[in-house]
Structure 1
Amino acid sequence: MTIKSKSKNNFDLCGNGKKGILMVHFGTVKMETRKKTLDSLNMNIAARFQEFQVREAYTSRMIIKKIYKKEEIRKNTPKEALRMMAQDGFTYVIVQASHVINGLEGEYLKGEVGYFKDEFQEIKMGEPLLTLPEDYIQIADVFKKEFENIEGAVVLVGHGTMHHSNSAYGMLQTVFNMREMENFYVGTIEGYPALDEVISQLKKNSVKKVTLVPF
């Protein structure tokens, strides 16, 4: 039994056993946001890969506690979800996180998945959104098309991290610039560039109108 970390979107598993996809999210305490984003993503995956049963886990213990306190809904951690999948007879499992970058959350997740390496015939992990160079190009093309008629600047706001993976945001900015998307700026909440750096660039370029986009 091995854990395999493959290229993005590798959902190929051999065998006729019980197959499952565990969608892993950082999580959010806002119910409406959850419905529009994480729940919607889960449903899209379930619709596309109908031969799999889709389950869900949150990595943020703080968010899990807040949701339970507010809504009395208990979200599972990855370990809890995988333990339940093993008990329910799953033999082939794919763990796919909705993380944007290869940060600390992803490293912790790999450790939790490794704990169950002997519980399934095969278990695989997908990669975060920004992993391969072509991922950045595809994302840039999506934003360029989505905001092609926008007036002013578009500021993408990522979470950010003190982990070295924060450099992914800088790479995305570089891709924007190379694809002549000069009105796109990438900032972060807890990393670099922070709000002050982004505002400084906006002022330097005499930007008067800004569209904020959660990223």
Structure 2
Amino acid sequence: MSKKALVVVSFGTSHSDTRKKTIEICENELRKSFLEYDFFRAWTSKMIIKKIKNRDNEEILFPDELMDMLCKKGYDEVYIQSLHLICGEEYNKLLDIINSYKKRFSKICIGRPLLSTLEDYKYIAEFIDIKSKKDIENDFKKEYSAVVWMGHGTEHIAHSSYAALDYRLRVKESPAFIGTVEGYPEIEDVLFFLEKNNIKKVHLRPLLLVSGDHAKNDMAGNNDKSWKKILEKKGFEVEVHLEGIGQFDEIQRKFVENLKDEL
């Protein structure tokens, strides 16, 4: 009888509070949906893996270390789900590793990241639009309110993912706007649309699986370069929401469906 492994791979986080609410909840949803497989996790950030080891003495494996271990333990079928948001550098790094192990297992199957197919973009744009409208529904003058979602951004060719998602929101005439910390659209691009639409109040949300350093510091921090401070200096009223998107049922279900699609 073949031994089957379910592997859930994420970038990782050193923030224990958001890890429990996001990464681990997504992992648990996948475990419940694939009960016949033995569960394993891996992270693609060696820096965070090392930090967790030094701080908490917790051993989390890099994907190639985990694949070696699965080989030694006699697993012949490996089903992998990425918790990455786009097909960027981290996901492609994972693909390169997985492809190098294809001859060592009878079957390897990998579920795509959150944003890959056109249907994925449609689904996530709908999720963002609905969530944003709910955020502003109790504002005094909601026609002058908007929700800004801060993504990580990338220099990888997949940087267009964020602009493609924002374009869908613009077509929907959604009160939601996408910006990134390390890519395009930038905060200046978001400010252009906020001012053009005569927005007075901004809800800030992370377009990140976890609410870690970027959300707590780059988005909501008290330093002059945080998006919160930049917006306040421009005269906007700002309300911060610190949930990583991994906390939402719609995102957890999407990762499960992505792996089921591959199967």
Q: One fold, TM greater than 0.5?
A: yes
Q: Which has the higher helix share?
A: 2
| Mapped pair 1:110 → 2:95 | yes
Q: Structure 1 CA distance, aligned partners of 2:191 and 2:133?
A: 22
1:108-154 CA-to-partner distances (Å, cap 9, x unmatched) read 11111122112211111211111111111111222233333332211
Structure 1: stretches of 5+ with no match in the other structure: 1-15
Which secondary structure does the structure 1 equivalent of 2:92 belong to?
helix
TM-score, normalised by the number of residues in structure 2 = 0.72
1:33-69 CA-to-partner distances (Å, cap 9, x unmatched) read 1111101111110011111122110101111111112
Which secondary structure does the structure 1 equivalent of 2:8 belong to?
strand
Q: Structure 2 CA distance, aligned partners of 1:154 and 1:121?
A: 47
Q: CA deviation at 1:78?
A: 0.3
Q: Structure 2 CA distance, aligned partners of 1:78 and 1:138?
A: 28
Which residue of the other structure, out of 25, 47, 54, is the alignment partner of 2:32?
Answer: 47
Amino acid at match of 2:191: I
TM-score, normalised by the number of residues in structure 1 = 0.88
Q: CA deviation at 1:92?
A: 0.9
**2:164 matched to which residue of 1?**
171
**2:233 matched to which residue of 1?**
none
Q: Structure 2 CA distance, aligned partners of 1:163 and 1:143?
A: 23
Q: Structure 1 CA distance, aligned partners of 2:60 and 2:187?
A: 32
Alignment of 1:180-195 (within 5 A): 180-181=173-174, 183-195=175-187
Please list every run of at least 4 consecutive aligned residues from structure 1 whose deviation after the TM superposition is greater than 4 angstroms. none
Identical aligned residues as a percent: 36
**2:198 matched to which residue of 1?**
206
Q: Structure 2 CA distance, aligned partners of 1:70 and 1:37?
A: 20
Which secondary structure does the structure 2 equivalent of 1:24 belong to?
strand
Amino acid at match of 1:79: D
| Mapped pair 1:24 → 2:9 | yes
CA 1:189/1:138 → structure 2, altered by over 3 Å: closer, same or farther? same
- State the aligned residue count: 199
Amino acid at match of 2:59: R
CA 1:196/1:69 → structure 2, altered by over 3 Å: closer, same or farther? farther
Q: Structure 2 CA distance, aligned partners of 1:18 and 1:148?
A: 46
**1:160 matched to which residue of 2?**
153
Q: Structure 2 CA distance, aligned partners of 1:108 and 1:85?
A: 19
Q: Structure 2 CA distance, aligned partners of 1:89 and 1:173?
A: 45
Give the root-mean-square deviation of aligned CA atoms.
1.4
Which secondary structure does the structure 2 equivalent of 1:74 belong to?
coil
**2:189 matched to which residue of 1?**
197
Amino acid at match of 1:50: L
